[in-house]
Structure 1
Amino acid sequence: MTSTLPAVTAPQVPAQRQPAPDVRPAGRTASSKRPDLLLCGALLVAILTVQGWNIADYPTLSDDEGTYLAQAWAVQEGKGLAHYTYWYDHPPLGWIQIAVLTWIPKMLSPESMTVGSMRVTMLLISAISAALVYVLGRRLALPRWAAGLGMALFGLSPLSVVLQREIFLDNLAVMWTLLAFTLAASPSRHLWHHFGAGVAAATAVLTKETMLVVLPALLLTMWRHSHRDTRKFALTGAITACTLIGLAYPLFALLKGELLPGGGHVSLWDGVKYQMTRPGSGFILDQGSGSHGVLRSWLYYDRVLPLGGLVGALLLLATWRWSVTARALAGPALTVAILAGLALRPNGYLPAMYVIQALPFLALVLAGGTASVAHAVLRRSHRLPHGGRYALAAVLAIGAGAYVVPRWYDGDRTAVTADANAPYQAASKWLATEVEQPEKTRVLVDDALWLDLVHAGYRPGLGAIWFYKADLDPAVTKTMPHGWKDLDYVVASPTVRRDAADLPNVRAAIQHSTPVAVFGTGADRIEIRQIQTVSGGVR
């Protein structure tokens, strides 16, 4: 009798724990990158065309633009960090970069070193920033069309076109911040990418110190995109690089003996104190406040990007737990939330260029929110035939375009056709041709025209005088022993007339002068006024 033995099976040995698979996206081939390059390139051409056309004539020249360019001119000329006594209002790295940007144009044509003509250098910054918005969108898992939408929102919004044309430190700081986010979201996760993100972040802060507030959002992006095994090293390297480079500014002040207040010198402490205690412009939602006026000026140019981006950020933050898109865009959404929260301070100071820092992140979260909504709508329409789903997507896109395009067309058409700077150009020409001895003439002028006068032969600082310095800089006031009587002309631009109330010498110069030439009308007019009583002044 034979017996059937039970089959013997091999014992089940627990499998060894395998390391977690690498979830990084596989490197794309050159052919797979071609659509991205074509889309990004086409959008870049459109953005540069719209931003570059008529760039010198619109918007109106601002005193801040003139100040940064004049400081860059001082760096180029070896006259120090500013065209007057440098005080610690902003770190000087911003206008040092402007000096590098404008060096070649100035070398080729020295008389072109004026605000209107040098605005063209900002197109390079706009191009880099727009391309970084696209790359960052792709690295944050946006589909190609959504990354392109974010780039278009950032570069073609009338609000962006106006502000990105101007020579503002914020535009350079945004470029460096976008580079930091792009490196932090690098799919290859190399440690040097995170180290580079820290360097770029520090450069952004030293370009415009207000970028400091978005660093938590950058760290969040880096945390999400770093490998868990090397996360501590990545974050430590980035924070160390950012901190060490950032400390160069107070170290610079310390080595110059200007870190703390003292007799006979400016100080970094006084600069920080001024920034922290400067009068606020009121609550942004209070209709009678200066901050509300700034908000109205933003919404005058465009409501789609600021309001849509804010709604997009709130949507992404609210759906963070269950939305893949929301988690991917957590960094930009947090950036928008931080900047919006600071703008909503009850009595904070809100400058007109503040929104520049938020523009790329508003564009990304609006594009991401649009992608999320579109995905949800199409997913719910799964019962439709394949062609019907594409038809629905086309209807949604056409509807959004019908709302946005007419509003943007009007704003962008103004930007490429209006001549807002004719009064400035006429005043510059008059001062260059109608004054017989410019080298012996003293003129109070805002910084938008300061370099024009220098090129026309007026002595920097003694002949062409930035109007603030006639009251606030001891190095200038000591050359005016008789105050306003030592001046010949005052160019009463809107900026000069507005701020004269707080500047005794400027106010007296306007009161004791008569207009000899007026360019423009209404509140935007520029008056060249001749001082009536002059005695004993430096000539």
Structure 2
Amino acid sequence: MSTLELPARINASPRPAVRTRREVPDLLIAGVLTALVLVLLAWNIDGFPTASDDEGTYLAQAWAVQEGRGLAHYTYWYDHPPLGWIQLAALAWLPAWLAPGLITVAAGRLVMLPVQAATLLLVYLVGRRSGLPKWGAALALLTLGLSPLFLTMGRQIYLDSFAVAWMLGAVALALSTRRHLWHYAAAGAATAIAILSKETILLVLPAVLLALWQNSARTSTRPWALGSYVTGLVLVGGFYPLYAVLRGELFPGADHVSLIGAWQFQLMSRDGSGSVFDASSGTNALVHSWLYYDRILLIGGLLAIVPALFARRLRPIGVAAAILTAVALRPGGYMPAMYVVQVLPFFALALAGVITTAVTRLEPRRDRRRAVAVAVVAVAALSFVVPRWYAGAERALTAADNAPYEQAAAYLSTRIPDPAGTTVVVDDVLWLDCVRAGYQPDRVIWFYKLDLDSEVAARLPGGWRDVDYLVSSPALRQDPSGLPTVGALLAHSTVVAEFGSSDGRIEIRKVDKENTP
């Protein structure tokens, strides 16, 4: 029996643990389906979606780790735990080997392929260990992998993807059929790694604890299982606050960044994006953008939460989905664009689990009724789901949204005289491309830091007049009023090259230092 396989099925009568020659191994099923999804993810990964500033930031931070420059390419202020981009740095050989000619963000997305492969395999494994038959676990894998929203967000370089893979691993270990104590300790360690990859995945912790509690029910080892889990969680997770303590940056101070200060900002001081029920809020617009790509998985997963909570084997999945949904629906607070990455796997598992439960609860002897039910589900999927997903995924396979960035990167590497002596302000999508083109890292400045990092301000005693070129992108133009130096650069510069059109254009602007007050 393969290591992925579980004989348990929802509400199915026990059967002898005997494999027939016709039985297909779990690993083969999950492996083939994962490979098919990876082909779709990899196809046109450099063209769609448009590179985001966050992706460039994580790649630049990974570069800083690789080069021994600390945990970030600027002052590390504990905005996120660093383990996510440390993992990104460890996988950086993959894009350098497979696609050295692409712009940095486009090539860096190749790192996400093994991460998403692990996620898909773990979705299948968690489904099996939650009592789903093989076809039910396969349905969960395909529900996630074929979603246009997954094909869009799963390509992008987000810390959430690393965190989700580790948290799914923790759930799978907590549901281990062998119930070894080291499995529970490993589940705690995996939970800690997930949290240190992206702290918001901490929301799923109650679901892991519930899975462990249920899996160790009616056994004398339950206290030891919980103790092992907590031990693994604390031993691994404790390294992050210990790092802050050793650097004297645990508590806020006037002359340094701090871990607790960053937490205070994230939880209390950061501007919220509004309520999802407010049509004018940023959260409402963000949720509608998710629904634009895939209403089926988001609405279907939402509807599956309640029945999943009532099915014991599916309850941990339901709890995870319910908590993530409740946080998204809260009246205020900040909602990041990549938050949905954490939601999708649990929605896929909940939806597939509920569908599987509905089918398997039919009387085994009434084959005709079961056949009709399965046929209805199949026809509904073919006639309703497939056309909509195909329409949603078509752009992901054909668009060339990153062409302006590619053209701007080529211009900066070939048309600017003396790159090593040039100071250029860019968004983080192009930061690493400039560094690799010969610009000095200290003279390639992420626009966001011009007004918000005292270390950067010290490099520019003359303010905007010390800048030679500005690369104006949608991210940079988003809120120039909140960044006065960026606003001054836009006002005192001239476009020398422009790529793309409309709001997505990329402008190379030369700063006008003469004849200015």
TM > 0.5 fold call: yes
CA displacement at 1:408 relative to structure 2: 0.7
Is 1:313 matched with 2:293? no
Measured on the aligned residues, the alpha-carbon RMSD in Å equals: 2.2
- The letter of the residue matching 2:48 is Y
* Map of 2:4 onto structure 1: none
* Map of 1:404 onto structure 2: 385
C-alpha spacing 1:178/1:390, structure 2 compared with 1 (3 Å) = same
CA displacement at 1:56 relative to structure 2: 1.0
- The letter of the residue matching 2:350 is V
Is 1:163 matched with 2:179? no
How many residues in Structure 1 have an aligned counterpart in Structure 2? 502
Output the TM-score relative to the length of structure 1. 0.89
* Map of 1:272 onto structure 2: 263
Taking the TM superposition and a 5 Å limit, the aligned residue runs for 1:481-496 are 481-496=461-476
| Structure 1 residues 320-357: Cα deviation after superposition (integer angstroms, max 9, x where no partner) | 1xxxxx11010110001001111111111111100111
| Structure 1 residues 28-73: Cα deviation after superposition (integer angstroms, max 9, x where no partner) | 7696873423321221121001001010111000000000000001
CA displacement at 1:193 relative to structure 2: 0.6
Q: Decide whether the 8 Å contact of 1:54 with 1:415 is kept in 2.
A: yes
- The letter of the residue matching 1:413 is E
CA displacement at 1:263 relative to structure 2: 3.7
C-alpha spacing 1:29/1:70, structure 2 compared with 1 (3 Å) = farther
Taking the TM superposition and a 5 Å limit, the aligned residue runs for 1:411-490 are 411-462=392-443, 464-490=444-470
* Map of 1:75 onto structure 2: 65
* Map of 1:9 onto structure 2: none
SS in 2 for 1:458: coil
SS in 2 for 1:257: coil
SS in 1 for 2:496: strand
Distance across 2 between alignment mates of 1:409 and 1:209:
34
Match of 1:130 among 98, 120, 129: 120
Q: Decide whether the 8 Å contact of 1:488 with 1:534 is kept in 2.
A: no
Is 1:304 matched with 2:296? yes
The farther-off stretch of 514-523 and 275-284 is: 514-523
Distance across 2 between alignment mates of 1:501 and 1:28:
69
C-alpha spacing 1:445/1:187, structure 2 compared with 1 (3 Å) = same
The farther-off stretch of 231-240 and 264-273 is: 264-273
Distance across 2 between alignment mates of 1:338 and 1:168:
21
C-alpha spacing 1:78/1:27, structure 2 compared with 1 (3 Å) = farther
Q: Which runs of 4+ in 1 moved over 3 A?
A: 23-35, 103-113, 386-389
Taking the TM superposition and a 5 Å limit, the aligned residue runs for 1:378-389 are 378-379=362-363, 386-387=367-368, 389=370
Distance across 1 between alignment mates of 2:258 and 2:467:
30
- The letter of the residue matching 1:426 is Q
Is 1:151 matched with 2:119? no
Is 1:115 matched with 2:122? no
Distance across 2 between alignment mates of 1:25 and 1:332:
26
Consecutive unaligned residues in structure 1, runs of 5 or more: 1-22, 321-325
- The letter of the residue matching 1:123 is L
The farther-off stretch of 104-113 and 40-49 is: 104-113
Q: Decide whether the 8 Å contact of 1:25 with 1:187 is kept in 2.
A: no
Match of 1:282 among 259, 264, 274: 274
Distance across 2 between alignment mates of 1:30 and 1:216:
39
Taking the TM superposition and a 5 Å limit, the aligned residue runs for 1:186-265 are 186-227=176-217, 228-265=219-256
Output the TM-score relative to the length of structure 2. 0.93
Is 1:57 matched with 2:38? no
CA displacement at 1:138 relative to structure 2: 0.5
Q: Larger C-alpha radius of gyration, 1 or 2?
A: 1
Match of 2:313 among 328, 343, 352: 328
Is 1:361 matched with 2:346? yes
- The letter of the residue matching 2:51 is L
Q: Percent identity?
A: 50
| Structure 1 residues 261-310: Cα deviation after superposition (integer angstroms, max 9, x where no partner) | 22432111221111112010000121110000110110011011111001
* Map of 1:294 onto structure 2: 286
Consecutive unaligned residues in structure 2, runs of 5 or more: 1-12
